[in-house]
Amino acid sequence: MVGLSTLVSRGDHRALAKAITVVEGGGEACRRLIHEIYPRTGRAFTVGVTGPTGTGKSTLVDKMIEEYRKRAQRVGVLAIDPSSAFTGGALLGDRIRMMDHSLEKGVFIRSMASRGDIGGLARAARNTVRVLDAAGMDIIIIETVGAGQAEVEVASAVDAVVVVLMPQLGDEVQAFKAGFGEIGDVFVVNKADLVNPSKTMYNIASGLKEKDGWRPPVLKTVALKGTGVPAVVDSLERFRKHLDDKDLREKRAQGRIEQELIEAAFSDFHRETVDRLKTRKEWTGIVNQVVKRQLDPETAASKLVKTISKLGD
């Protein structure tokens, strides 16, 4: 029987969907899969697309897929849904809107629910990127909403970040100041058909700083019609070249691998330790003592640290 990882590297869509489910589930099955595919990753260019709700990210991603297909690139997309139930409708809309491409061999689209577990989500997202990378996708796009910790984490897991805003939202520049300015490599002011975007573009550009010799461009688009989208893709290609020319890709990867390993190791350590701790009689004893007020929680915690450090023996 042909293994899942082999099917993934052949770009088999059903195998891809299955592999991503494995990765989402985590644990031993995920570890085995990543172990097998990791040597075949590292080729894809990964792009995060983020910004406030409703600025047109999904519409833009859809048009970016089209543009990349014209350039004979294979594209994988991971849409991270906000956990909020209010967006159920928009979520479905996203799926339908992006569906146009999903039957095509060179495009694979998947969405993932954020479930409020940021660490787990970032880990699943990183591993999903690896699966798509091993499957031969040239470009991998991750769409996230907002400037919260999840976005910052996901943003730190990709090669390039596109921040999508729209003109005169009123507080878009404020939202921008609240964190988007730091994470973007390319800025897009979408819905340029509704309001003249010049002022917004100027405000954004004047707040940006050059980073490692790259000044993030500010572009305008009408994603609905595809206007300006080739220029977004051109900018991403230029940014990719900039990263390669200056050997920045490895340097940036180093930082995010460090972060990933620390998070993954501590998360696994935490889970395993809790499981083991709960099998010990000291655990029940200490809990009971605190319940009966024979022991205070602070002293109990320090006793547990000692118990935990002996677990490894």
Ligand X SMILES: Nc1nc2c(ncn2[C@@H]2O[C@H](COP(=O)(O)OP(=O)(O)OP(=O)(O)O)[C@@H](O)[C@H]2O)c(=O)[nH]1
**Residue of closest CB approach to ligand X:** 56
Q: Which does 63 bind (CB under 5 to 8 A by kind): Mg ion, ligand X, none?
A: none
Cα–Cα distance for residue pair 170/179, rounded to 1 Å: 17
Instruction: At 190, list the tokens.
Output: 């979408």
Residue 73: φ, ψ to 5°: -100, 145
Q: How far is the CB of 201 from ligand X (least distance, A)?
A: 14
Q: How far is the CB of 50 from Mg ion (least distance, A)?
A: 10
- The residues in 68-97 that bind Mg ion, with binding defined as CB under 5 A, are 94
Cα–Cα distance for residue pair 249/159, rounded to 1 Å: 7
Instruction: At 282, list the tokens.
Output: 């000291």
CB 130 within 8 A of CB 31: no
Please, which residue, 78 or 122, has the CB nearer to Mg ion? 78
Query: Could you tell me which of 285, 178, 186 has the C-alpha nearest to residue 235?
Result: 186
Q: How far is the CB of 143 from ligand X (least distance, A)?
A: 7
**Residue of closest CB approach to Mg ion:** 58
Instruction: At 195, list the tokens.
Output: 């309001």
Return residues touching ligand X (CB under 6 A).
53-59, 87, 90, 145, 190-191, 193-194, 222-224
- The residues in 94-113 that bind Mg ion, with binding defined as CB under 5 A, are 94
- The residues in 43-62 that bind Mg ion, with binding defined as CB under 5 A, are 57-58
Please, which residue, 55 or 127, has the CB nearer to ligand X? 55
Cα–Cα distance for residue pair 289/71, rounded to 1 Å: 67
Instruction: At 281, list the tokens.
Output: 């009689």
Please, which residue, 57 or 63, has the CB nearer to Mg ion? 57
Q: Which does 59 bind (CB under 5 to 8 A by kind): Mg ion, ligand X, none?
A: ligand X
Q: How far is the CB of 232 from ligand X (least distance, A)?
A: 12
Cα–Cα distance for residue pair 180/48, rounded to 1 Å: 12
Chain positions contacting Mg ion, by CB under 5 A: 57-58, 94
